Structure 1
Amino acid sequence: MAGVAEQFRGLPMEALIGGPLMAACKAQYHLATVMVEFITTIGFTGKPEKQVARTLNFDLTRPVDDGTTPLQTQTITINAPLLGLVPIPALLIESVTVDFTMEVKSSTQDTAKSSSSLDASASGGFFGVSFSVKGSVATSRENTRSTDNSAKYNVNVIARQQQPQEGMSKMMDLLASAVDPIAVNSGS
C-alpha cells in the first residue's frame, strides 16, 4: 500500500488547483478591461484630458392635458447619455469549480514462466514376461501482475451578464412615461 501513497507524492497540487484559479482571475481582469474600454470608447468623446459624455439628442413631442379639447402638445428636448442606453458588457465569473480526481490501481503486470520436466523409463522381464514402464512429470508456473494509473481533471467556469445599469432603467422608464399626457393646472 505504500506504493499507492507514493503515487500521490510529488504531484504539483499548487499548479493543478491554483492554475485554473489564477486563469479565472486573469480572465476576470480581462473582462473588466473590456468593460472599461467599452465605456471609454462608446460613452465619451474628446481628448483624454477633457472627456465629454456622448449623448443621444432628440426632440420628443408629448401630449399635455390642460383641460381643453383637443389636447395640446409640448416638445421637450432629450439629451440622454449613451452609456445609459446601451448594454455594457459587464461579464463576471460567477463561480469556478476545479475537480481533481486521481485513481491509482496498483496492479503490475509482469509475466514469468517456469517449467521443468522429468522423464523416466524402466524395462525388464520376469519368468519370460517382459515389461516396459515409461513416465514423465512436468510442472509449469506463470505469475502475472499489472499496473494501471489514471487521472481525471475537470475545470468548470460559469460567467453571467450583470444586471442592467440603473441609468438605463431610469431612461427606459422616462421614455415609457413620455406617451402619457402631462397634467397642467389651468388656474387663471
Structure 2
Amino acid sequence: MAIDTTPSQVATSALQAIPFGSMIGGPLKACIEAQAMAAQTSWQFIQEVGLNIDPKTGQKEAVNVSFQFMQNGRMVQLNVPLLTIVPIPYIAIHDIDINFKANISASSSSVSEQSSSSALDAGAEITTGLKVGPFHMDAKMNASYSSKKDSKATQESKYSVEYTMDVAVKAGQDSMPAGLAKVLELLGSSLDVSDPEGTLEVSARDLTLPNEKNAKVTLIATYKNNKGIFEPKSIKISGVTGNVSDDSVVFELTEARDYTVVAGKKEVKVKVHSAESDTKADTPNS
C-alpha cells in the first residue's frame, strides 16, 4: 500500500493559514493606539487642569495657585503656576514582548482488507459395475467446484491545529518632552511673592515745581495687583490724566498741592510744592 502523504500536506496548509500578520501586527497596533491615547490624555490634563480660557478674548492663561504666609513680619502672598506643583501624567510604553506558539498535529490511518475464494459447482456422477465370481460391486463418484471473491477497504484521516500567543506590555511614567520641560521651567521661574493688597510704587513723594511759566513735574507710578500682574490702567490721580507707558503711568503735575495716587486698595500721598515757596522759607526775616 502506498504511503499516505495527506497528514503532512494538511499540517503544511494549516501552518501557512495561520494569520501571523494579524497576530503580531494586532498587538503592535493596539500599543501604538494606546500610546496616542496616553499623549492625548496628557494634553487634555494640561488644558483642563493647568489652563484657563478667557471667555472674552479666547486667550489661554496658566492657572495660578495663590496662598498667603508670613514673611519678615508681614503677610505676603505666593502665586504658583498649578502645572509646576502637580505631576503631569505622561505614560509611555517601554517594552512589548510577543511570544507565539503553534501546535499542529495530523494523522492518517487506512485499513485495507481483501478476501477471495473460488468455487465451481459442476455435478458429474459416474456409476460403474464390476462382477467377480458370485460378487457384484457398484461405484458412484460425484465431482463439484465453487469460486467466490470478496474485497473490503477503509481509510481514516484526522488533524488538529492549536496556537497560543502571550503578549507582555511594560509601560511607566516617562520623562517629559523637551518642549514641555522648558515650559515648566519658565513657569517655575515666574514664582512671585506679592502683597495681598497689591504693590503701588511712585518715582517720588516730594516734588518741587520750577519757578517758571507753565512749570510742571513728572511723576511715574507702577502698580502690581495681588497676583503680581502689572495693572497700569488701575492707577488714578483725581483731576489728573496720565499716559500709560509700558507697565507704568506717567503724570504731568502742574499745581503745587498734595496729590493722592490710588490703585486697588493702595494709596500713596505725593506732595508738590513750588520753588518760590521754598525760597521764601529759606530767606531769614529782616
| Normalised-by-shorter TM-score class | 0.5 to 0.7
Alignment of 1:152-171 (within 5 A): 152-163=164-175, 167=184
Aligned length: 140
Identity among equivalent positions (%) equals 24
Alignment of 1:126-141 (within 5 A): none
Q: CA deviation at 1:74?
A: 5.3
Output the TM-score relative to the length of structure 1.
0.59
How far apart, CA to CA, are the structure 1 residues paired with 2:21 and 2:32? 15
How far apart, CA to CA, are the structure 1 residues paired with 2:53 and 2:170? 37
**AA paired with 2:64?**
T
Aligned: 1:61 with 2:73: no
**AA paired with 1:88?**
I
**Alpha-carbon spacing, 1:2–1:143, altered in 2? closer, same or farther (3 Å):** closer
Q: Which has the higher helix share?
A: 1
Segments of structure 1 that go 5 or more residues without pairing to the other structure are: 63-71, 119-140, 175-188
How far apart, CA to CA, are the structure 2 residues paired with 1:53 and 1:95? 35
Q: CA deviation at 1:10?
A: 3.1
**Alpha-carbon spacing, 1:76–1:117, altered in 2? closer, same or farther (3 Å):** farther
Output the TM-score relative to the length of structure 2.
0.41
Q: CA deviation at 1:39?
A: 0.4
Structure with higher RCO (Cα < 8 A, 6+ apart) = 1
Alignment of 1:41-60 (within 5 A): 41-47=48-54, 49-60=58-69
Larger radius of gyration: 2
Give me the CA root mean square deviation. 3.6
SS in 2 for 1:86: coil
Q: CA deviation at 1:53?
A: 0.6
Structure 1 runs, 4 residues or longer, greater than 4 Å off? 110-118, 141-146, 163-168
**Where does residue 88 of structure 1 map in the other structure?**
88
Q: Which has the higher strand share?
A: 2
**Alpha-carbon spacing, 1:145–1:10, altered in 2? closer, same or farther (3 Å):** closer
Aligned: 1:22 with 2:29: yes
SS in 2 for 1:94: strand
How far apart, CA to CA, are the structure 2 residues paired with 1:21 and 1:36? 23
